[in-house]
């Protein structure tokens, strides 16, 4: 699908994934790219980004079309964004769940749409792409879009479609406005609702404005839930383990007990639990995926996102990556002793970081959370 239309895209986030995503859009040059940059805002505006990318090489002083410090600033002039890419961490147990991040953008698009001519209204579609980890992450956004004040039917408000982005990429923010990308950008893109024909059209349209042939890869996904279960084989096991021990993946393997205990007594049993839950949910994934996930990063000394969060005393995505699969397992009567152990230890770290951030308080007299 090819189009000469120029699009208005908003990338919410500015970490390793978000920056390469925005850079790819900018290089394709079929859209104006706006980025939300919080902690690195001053550096990004003054000097641009310094990027060492396996896809695009060394890129110095790069800036998207526009940079804003907050979502609210990006919609202050009632902008309509054709594509809104959410690349931030998905932390429903934190102070800014995805619905809270998205609501001002959706409201801005609705307000902008209402001032258009009938002909223009008919052509406008708001496409929200969740380039985020986890399972069942779309439910929160559907709840937002079904709110009484947001009627997305093309008559009272613009049509809205929800797309899934599963991104296999090794990209990390190593310093303010500094990104190192070690693994090729491989985006698996599909409609959460496979019966939504408009959403499937938008999948093809976005591929056209994102794919840079010979650099990144875009795979059209007609089995979104299967793909998300597959990625959880890595994210629900390797990710929390490295966070708990606060080591990169290679060291987590090397420092394990005898007989490759890290791999065979922790990771593989936990990975099998994900495969069992997925199977009970109707999605069969071949066991060879375990070899792929483990061997892929063995020699990269790569720090998964949760491990980086632990280093920085930031909140982790434990609910969408571990909590939701475990809750699904309980409904389907699938035992999860290994995943539950990882979740419960990660949860201790999560609440510890919440205390450091002032999000929870401990009553030391009564030994309880306030």
pLDDT tens digits for range 167-206: 888 888 889 999 999 889 999 999 999 999 999 999 999 9
Query: How far apart are the C-alpha atoms of 95 and 314, rounded to whole Å?
Result: 12
Structural domains in the chain plus CATH codes: 7-221 (3.40.50.720), 229-356 (1.10.1040.10)
Q: How confident is the model at residue 2 (pLDDT cuts 50, 70, 90)?
A: low
The predicted-structure confidence for 282-313, as pLDDT tens digits, reads as follows 999 999 999 999 987 777 788 888 998 999 89
- The answer to whether 91 and 79 are in contact (CB under 8 A) is no
Backbone angles phi, psi at 128, to 5 degrees: -105, 125
Measured between alpha carbons, how far is 180 from 77 in angstroms, rounded to an integer? 33
What span, in angstroms and rounded, lies between the C-alpha atoms of 305 and 132? 12
How many Cβ atoms sit within 10 Å of the Cβ of residue 252?
21
Using pLDDT thresholds of 50, 70 and 90, give the confidence band for residue 370: confident
User: Hey, what are 123's tokens?
Assistant: 């052509």
For residue 152, name the pLDDT band (cuts at 50, 70, 90): low
The whole-angstrom separation of Cα 23 and Cα 49 is: 10
Confidence of residue 15 (pLDDT cuts 50, 70, 90): confident
pTM as predicted: 0.90
Q: List pLDDT tens digits, range 37-51.
A: 999 999 999 999 999
Going by C-alpha positions, the residue among 346, 341, 284, 295 that lies closest to residue 320 is: 346
Position 4 pLDDT exceeds 80: no
pLDDT on residue 336: 98
- Please say if the pLDDT value at position 334 is more than 70: yes
- Is residue 242's pLDDT more than 70? yes
Using alpha carbons, select from 78, 74, 2, 65 the residue that is nearest to residue 33.
Answer: 65
Question: Which residues does residue 7 pair with via DSSP β-bridges, in sequence order?
Answer: 31
Strands, E, within the chain: which ranges? 7-12, 31-36, 49-53, 57-62, 66-68, 83-86, 125-131, 159-175, 178-191, 217-220, 362-363, 368-369
Q: Work out the end-to-end distance of the chain between its first and last CA atoms, rounded to an integer number of angstroms.
A: 55
3-state secondary structure 163-210: EEEEEEEEEEEEECCEEEEEEEEEEEEEECCCCCHHHHHHHHHHHHHH
Alpha-carbon span 311 to 313, nearest angstrom: 6
Give the Cβ contact number of residue 335 at 10 Å. Answer: 12
Cβ–Cβ contacts within 10 Å for residue 313, how many? 11
Give the Cα separation of 69 and 35 in Å (integer): 8
* Identity of the highest mean pLDDT range in 2-11, 164-173, 205-214, 295-304: 205-214
pLDDT of residue 150: 61
d(CA 310, CA 75): 32
Q: Judge whether residue 151 has pLDDT over 90.
A: no
Evaluate whether 349 touches 363 at the Cβ level (below 8 Å): no
């Amino acid at each position: 699908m090819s189009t000469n239309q120029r699009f208005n895209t908003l990338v919410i986030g500015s970490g390793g994934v978000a920056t390469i995503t925005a850079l790819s859009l900018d290089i394709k040059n079929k859209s104006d790219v706006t980025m939300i940059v919080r902690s690195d805002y001053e550096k990004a505006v003054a000097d641009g980004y310094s990027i060492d990318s396996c896809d695009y090489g060394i890129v110095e002083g790069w800036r998207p079309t526009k940079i804003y410090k907050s979502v609210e600033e990006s919609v202050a002039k009632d902008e309509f964004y054709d594509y809104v890419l959410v690349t931030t961490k998905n932390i429903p147990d934190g102070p800014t769940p995805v619905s809270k991040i998205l609501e001002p953008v959706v409201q801005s698009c609705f307000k902008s749409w209402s001032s258009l001519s009938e002909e223009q209204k008919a052509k406008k579609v708001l496409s929200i792409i969740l380039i985020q980890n986890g399972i069942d992450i779309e439910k929160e956004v559907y709840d937002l879009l079904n709110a009484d004040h947001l009627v997305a039917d093309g008559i009272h408000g613009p049509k809205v479609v929800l797309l899934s982005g599963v991104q296999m990429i090794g990209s990390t923010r190593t310093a303010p406005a500094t990104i190192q990308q070690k693994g090729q950008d491989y985006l698996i893109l599909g409609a959460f609702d496979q019966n939504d024909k408009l959403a499937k059209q938008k999948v093809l349209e976005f591929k056209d404005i994102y794919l840079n042939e010979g650099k990144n890869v875009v795979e059209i996904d007609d089995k979104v839930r299967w793909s998300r279960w597959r990625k959880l084989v890595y994210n629900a096991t390797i990710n929390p383990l490295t966070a708990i021990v606060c080591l990169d993946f290679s060291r987590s393997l090397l420092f394990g007990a005898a007989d490759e205990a890290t791999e065979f007594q922790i990771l593989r049993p936990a990975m099998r639990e994900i495969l069992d839950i997925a199977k009970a949910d109707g999605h069969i994934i071949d066991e060879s995926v375990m070899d792929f996930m483990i061997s892929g990063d063995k020699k990269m000394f790569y720090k998964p996102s949760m491990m980086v969060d632990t280093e920085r005393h930031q909140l982790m995505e434990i609910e969408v990556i571990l909590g939701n699969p475990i809750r699904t397992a309980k409904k389907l009567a699938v035992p999860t002793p290994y995943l539950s152990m990882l979740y419960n230890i990660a949860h201790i770290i999560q609440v510890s970081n919440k205390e450091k951030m002032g999000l929870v308080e401990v009553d030391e007299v009564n030994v309880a959370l306030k």
